[in-house]
Amino acid sequence: MRIASLHTYPVKGCHRIDHDAARVEPWGLAGDRRWVMVDADGVAITQRDNPRLTQLRVRTRPGGLELSAPGLPGLSVDEPVDGPKEFVRVFSGHLPAPARLAESAWSSEFLGVPARLVWQADAGARPIGGKDPAGGPVSFADGYPMLLANEASLDALNYWLDEAVPITRFRPNLVVSGAAPWAEDDWSAREARLRVGDVVLRAGPGCPRCVVTTIDQESGEKGREPLFALGKHRRFADGLLFAINVIPAELGSLRVGDTVTVLD
């Protein structure tokens, strides 16, 4: 097995950035989902709420981001190290996590609703899962530091569809090739450790999928697949599962083409 692709999403919900290599930190890939747009109540605005986020392009730079979107002038945003403190939630039922306010005018105009862009200054302050304060650190991802998808499982899913969908619908961080279809189910069930390059990842629970998978990540248009097919073929007690969450156990760097080995 090998790494087929690597992806980050610096602002939660934004268009992906593809990488040849990426550094693994305790809370996920470096720079992944450290920023989020939140509503008036301090709850994250995601593609579930506003598919226009698919049109948000982001370029990272030392100490900040460059944002662009159709119909708007670009915006350069610095990491607001001294910005006003905020407490925000990824979901309304999650624990509040500390953040710092970066800006509001551009985000509100882009989304068409009152919004604020905030930055996670302390990436170690939000617990995995968002509910148990004893959990390890995670960014503004839904619940876990990284998401791993299997190309062969996508092939199996696409066999059930009239029109194939790309792996980008599932917004993974790490995509592997050379595994059997649904091999990741077994890794998840036994919390296997995976050596990926010089990094070790612990397999976590499968990822329950939502309406975001039905949104074209290039156009923002909605459909009903692949969620309908997942409902028929991949329904489990925890939801409609595709891909698995993984948690860094040994840190380092990943590169496309690195070997992936199941350790136990």
What gap in Å lies between CA 172 and CA 167, rounded to an integer? Answer: 8
Structure tokens at 11: 């602002």
What gap in Å lies between CA 167 and CA 177, rounded to an integer? Answer: 12
Q: pLDDT tens across 113-152, in order?
A: 999 999 999 999 999 988 877 778 999 999 999 999 999 9
Per-residue burial over 179-190, b = 16 or more CB atoms within 10 Å of its CB, e = otherwise: beebbbbebbee
Structure tokens at 214: 């039905």
Q: What is the pLDDT of residue 210?
A: 97
pTM of the shown model: 0.97
Cis peptide before 26 (omega within 30 of 0): no
* Residues lower than pLDDT 50 in the chain: none
Q: What is the pLDDT of residue 132?
A: 77
Q: What is the pLDDT of residue 130?
A: 84
- Ordered structural domains, the chain, with CATH: 2-12+19-25+141-262 (2.40.33.20), 33-119 (no CATH)
Q: What is the pLDDT of residue 245?
A: 98
Closest CA to 50 of 23, 13, 18: 13
Q: What is the pLDDT of residue 241?
A: 98
